[in-house]
Chains A and B, each alone.
Chain A
Amino acid sequence: MHEMGVVIHLAKTLDKLAEEQHITRIGSVTLSVGEVSGIVNDLFVDAWNYFRKKHPVLNDAELKMETIPAYTHCDGCGSKYETVKHGKICPNCGSKETWLIQGNECIIKEIEAETADEELINQEDKGEENAGDL
């Protein structure tokens, strides 16, 4: 399954980042996922919810997914059109010589994180933060 493989790498990438930047807790992870990246959002979230439990830093990291629209360029007439709507054949001229411009990426856009020094400052409201759980 593709989603599981990608999630394993996502978790590893974040673990490493946490170590480098002294991050103690990640609150959320925002991914930018192309419409035709082949990633199925529901499967991905399931896989994520399973894996984050195995990584202390990620325990309560919520996964947010943003979609990058897919566009295709047509060599026949030079136009740009929506890939998902029209597929491989250009709706403007019927050409099959078309190329995906964007829409198959899968990028970690940003994370919300707490670093070690921040935690010291926030020590007082710590109890409150740990109270809620999923």
Chain B
Amino acid sequence: MKIIELKESITASNDEDARVLREELKQNHTLLINLMASPGAGKTTFLGKTIKDVGDKIKIGIIEADIDSDVDAKKLAELGVEAVQAHTDGMCHMDAGMTRKALEELNYQNNDLVFLENVGNLICPAEFDTGAGRNVMILSVPEGDDKPLKYPLMFTKSDVLIITKIDTISVFDFDFDKCEQRAKKLNPNIQIFKVSAKTGEGMEEWEKWLSAQVKQWV
């Protein structure tokens, strides 16, 4: 027996699957966006509002991976987009293999944009590349501005930070500047949007960014 030094990430096989999937999505002109957040942060509501606003201009599909039930997939399908429930087998994250299966079930080629609502959890999903073209994380005002200190990996892996539920700011002690500073320190390139999916405030800027990304990708 000989010793082979590897010093490789434990998820190297997933990284490779993800790379291949991303390439394939690009060739088929579909942008996959991986949406990550804590449970209850407001992912489904945020997606619903986005679909209502731009669903007539962009053909959107949804992969719902939150473990609770298939309630969310139904809620979103009612808005007229195609939605499938992914099977995570009780896992705390989606990996590239599971994402591929869900995409195939969705017939993703018919969509310009597919959102993956990842499992509600700020730790595990950040460790697994799903093959998405963009990673977006949602943080809600009630969760507090110190989340970047607690979950640094999530912030380094995300292209966009959405701070949602800003309509509740008067009730909570949330310092936008501090949160922004902390997030930028971990990831200087992170784009930050402040929104309320309830009142619609700030959604326009996010949707402008989103439309530009879809155009650029497809």
Contact = CB atoms under 8 A, between A and B. Distances in A.
A57 B153 CA distance: 33
B168 interface: no
Contacts of A91: none
Contact of A118 (B2, B95, B124): B2
A6 B186 CA distance: 25
A59 interface: no
B124 A109 contact: no
Contacts of A96: 146, 149
Interface in B1-19: 1-14, 16
Contacts of A2: 91-93, 123-124
B10 to A, nearest CB: 5
Given A99-B152, A110-B5, A115-B2, A5 B92 contact: yes
A46 interface: no
Dominant secondary structure at the B interface: mixed
Given A13-B12, A88-B150, A100-B152, A5 B128 contact: yes
A85 interface: no
Nearest to B91: A5
Interface residues of A, number: 34
Dominant secondary structure at the A interface: mixed
A45 interface: no
B152 A110 contact: no
Contacts of A31: 10
A112 B4 CA distance: 6
Contacts of B90: 1
Contacts of B11: 6, 9, 13, 106
30 contacts: A5-B95, A5-B128, A6-B11, A9-B13, A9-B14, A9-B95, A13-B12, A16-B13, A16-B16, A17-B6, A21-B4, A31-B10, A88-B149, A96-B149, A100-B152, A106-B9, A106-B10, A106-B11, A107-B6, A107-B7, A107-B9, A107-B10, A108-B7, A108-B8, A108-B12, A110-B3, A110-B5, A113-B2, A113-B4, A114-B2
Interface of B: 1-14, 16, 90-93, 95, 123-124, 127-128, 146, 149-150, 152-153, 182, 185-186
Interface of A: 1-2, 4-6, 9-10, 12-13, 15-17, 21, 27, 31, 38, 88, 96-100, 104, 106-115, 118
Given A9-B95, A99-B185, 16 more contacts: A1-B91, A1-B92, A2-B124, A6-B11, A12-B13, A13-B11, A15-B13, A96-B149, A106-B9, A106-B10, A107-B6, A107-B10, A108-B8, A110-B5, A110-B7, A115-B2
